[in-house]
Amino acid sequence: MSFERDAGTSVIDVSPSDMPKVNLLPPLQPTQDLLLKTCKYLFSKGTFAKNAPFKGFLLHGPVGTGKTEIVRQVVRRLGEELNDKCTVRFIPVDSSVIASPKWGESEKAFNRIFGYVETLQNRFKDPKVVLLFDDVESLMLSRGMSAAKEWHYSLNSVFFHKVDSQNPSEIITFATTNRLDLLDSAIKTRLYGLFVPRVSIDLLVSAANDLLDTMLTPDQVKEREIVIEEVRKKLDEMENPTIRDTRQLIIVTIIEKGIWSA
């Protein structure tokens, strides 16, 4: 299959305060804490780290386990905790959008993104940027593995050069993937890898209970029981369910059981 479209879309930067709060699943919290304290240190005291062989983090693990959400929550917390010292901005990049089989297109998209990062210097006081390349493996897939070598040389000149010139006291790069096997070692050596695991069904059911707080009124006790019972049953029937599956099952169950009908 081939597609013809220009890579890239308009780049946006997001304020941490625009990120809704999500209580991460308990097994993911140590990862969040590690990311938060490291980013906080780098953004507030890490100027000496300019030439360190470290540019950020690579979160990897199965589909739908909360990799992107961890980054969003770290950004939200950084915004809260560094509020009086600097301006934290978040630039989420959907890698599949900038992936292009057309020669030179992905490189142009990268230039646009990194050029945009530079403009933040003029717009904000002491900006600190979290740059996220979400689903970064799609950059590899877009060219096919047979062309990966060429891809690497071409992208090397733009992506890795830009990332290498970043000072992590100003810009921290995150990438996420569920296909670690497809990633070039050049990415793995620059970004510190952290595995984001699946969690037990009991923990997913407990997260479902939290999620229902925003979907049902406090007096809908019976309805809550019905949804939780059904969600647990369906999770038990699934192979390796995730938090994304749990969210979807809740909505499907609420609608199917007529709980939201007027």
Ligand X SMILES: Nc1ncnc2c1ncn2[C@@H]1O[C@H](COP(=O)(O)OP(=O)(O)OP(=O)(O)O)[C@@H](O)[C@H]1O
List of residues contacting Mg ion (CB under 5 A): 67-68
Pick between residue 158 and residue 249 the one whose CB is nearest to ligand X.
249
Q: Which stretch in 21-29, 32-40, 113-121, 185-193 sits in contact with ligand X by CB under 6 A?
A: 21-29
Pick between residue 42 and residue 207 the one whose CB is nearest to ligand X.
207
Which of 175, 7, 4, 173 has the alpha carbon at shortest distance from 96? 7
When asked if residue 254 is in the footprint of ligand X (CB under 6 A), the reply is no
Q: Tell me, residue by residue from 41 to 60, as one string, x for binding to ligand X by CB under 6 A and - for no binding.
A: --------------------
Give the separation between CA 184 and CA 79, rounded to whole angstroms: 31
* C-alpha distance from residue 217 to each of 53, 222, 226, 251 (Å): 51, 11, 14, 15
When asked if residue 92 is in the footprint of ligand X (CB under 6 A), the reply is no
CB 65 within 8 A of CB 242: yes
CB 160 within 8 A of CB 166: no
Which of 49, 67, 65, 47 has the alpha carbon at shortest distance from 57? 67
Q: Which residue is nearest to Mg ion (CB)?
A: 68
Residues 232-251 that bind ligand X (CB under 6 A): 243-244, 247
When asked if residue 182 is in the footprint of ligand X (CB under 6 A), the reply is no
Pick between residue 69 and residue 170 the one whose CB is nearest to ligand X.
69
When asked if residue 64 is in the footprint of ligand X (CB under 6 A), the reply is yes
Q: Whole-number minimum distance, CB 73 to ligand X, in Å?
A: 8
Q: Whole-number minimum distance, CB 65 to Mg ion, in Å?
A: 9
User: Which residues have a Cβ under 8 Å from the Cβ of 2 and sit 6 or more positions away?
Assistant: 101
> According to CB under 6 A, which one of 40, 60, 67, 89 is a site residue for ligand X?
67
Give the separation between CA 63 and CA 178, rounded to whole angstroms: 6
Dump strand ranges (E) for 51-187.
Answer: 56-60, 87-94, 127-134, 171-177
When asked if residue 207 is in the footprint of ligand X (CB under 6 A), the reply is yes
Helix or strand (DSSP H, E) at 195: strand 191-195
Task: By CB under 6 A, name the binding residues for ligand X.
Answer: 22-25, 63-69, 135, 176, 178, 207, 211, 243-244, 247
